[in-house]
Copies of this chain bind each other. A is one copy, B any other.
Amino acid sequence: MPIARLTDAERGDALKSLPGWSLRADGLAIVRELKFADFGEAFGFMTRVAIQAEKVDHHPEWFNVYNKVRITLTTHDAEGLSLRDVALAKFIDGVV
């Protein structure tokens, strides 16, 4: 069964529940930028998210330089945002 893409209304509701995230310009992904004390903390965070990503089989796109991590969530199978992105974003919000 294909993964359902959120409707515009669902996407709006999801964004309201994720204040740390912003919609990418094309509307197909959400983005959050995080800053940690140092590289060790940043990579520790990434490791925790990586384990969760494997568990739920939904993976982030992310960029890291030293204490900064920029995360992009999208669902390729849905060609946009799905509930999987919302769930992973909420997990991430619970970790930081």
Contact = CB atoms under 8 A, between A and B. Distances in A.
Interface of A: 39-40, 43, 46-47, 50, 53-54, 59-66
Contacts of A53: 39
A85 B42 CA distance: 21
A73 to B, nearest CB: 11
B66 A63 contact: no
Contacts of A66: 59
Given A39-B54, A54-B40, A61 B59 contact: no
Nearest to A72: B65
A3 to B, nearest CB: 15
Contact of A63 (B39, B46, B50, B62): B62
